[in-house]
Structure 1
């Protein structure tokens, strides 16, 4: 029979924090999708930029920091969104996911070549893995980001703008979540015990 101390209740504050983090990250994409569907890609891009800024500020206020990945992505949204609006050319906003994912892939591969797991630097306080675990996790994410960059290039060049926006909102996020969940086995296998 399980000990009552072993079955810890779910921390309500932790659940609320995770839901808030999800809302802060997904909110700008939802705004982008809705405004694009109702008006066009340029209005959608402008709304995406504003929502991204609000999201970054909200992250700082609510959690005391802005995580690295949303910050890099946010800067790219502002740069490529700005180019899209200034030049009235939607190619820039379509290239943004390719460039962001390629940057993450190159950074992770480059870190490994230099003998450093950048994921350990970013998530070392969250996960306690062996060096081999960090290396394998970093390698997997690097390949995944490269895959997302290539996938975005294929999709935006072969479908309509509205279909690409739907792909960005409804395919990329679920793919990323599914990939993250698929890493749980690796996290468990290479977790270091603190005995």
Structure 2
């Protein structure tokens, strides 16, 4: 139930997926909301601090998720060959965009040479800083990558619903129910 099988996702992969999805949506909403904060708003400093802290934790979780993905089997894809290829490329694009958003966010936050405090628990040091226009360029990449990520994630969700409702595949069920994997391994 914890591990993936060829017929379904295990609980660890499912938790990584849904916690990442909710966190990414929440970070996007918080980031968008922060752009309208005025200097005297109480969240003017608090919002970015929370955004950065959660973003760093998500970066660590994403790296752990990638390691987990490489050491676990991937369930068989359902659908036509074209759908399987599109799903594979879509998943790669999702990971690339997630990492691009997080790395660019890191580069924005560390452009002045200061590290990132993660809820006051620890600090992630600034490893690359003082590059010409670092904060501005990384800010543009961060924003447009985040928008592209939301659009692609929306397409990902629509594809899952299409597989579930129109094609009657178990794609969505496998990402919701780790017991599906253990029940259907013998098939």
TM category (shorter chain) comes to 0.3 to 0.5
Q: Higher helix proportion, which one?
A: 1
Q: Normalising to structure 1: TM-score of the pair?
A: 0.33
TM-score between both structures, scaled by the size of structure 2: 0.34
Whose relative contact order is higher, 1 or 2, with alpha carbons under 8 Å and at least 6 apart?
Answer: 2
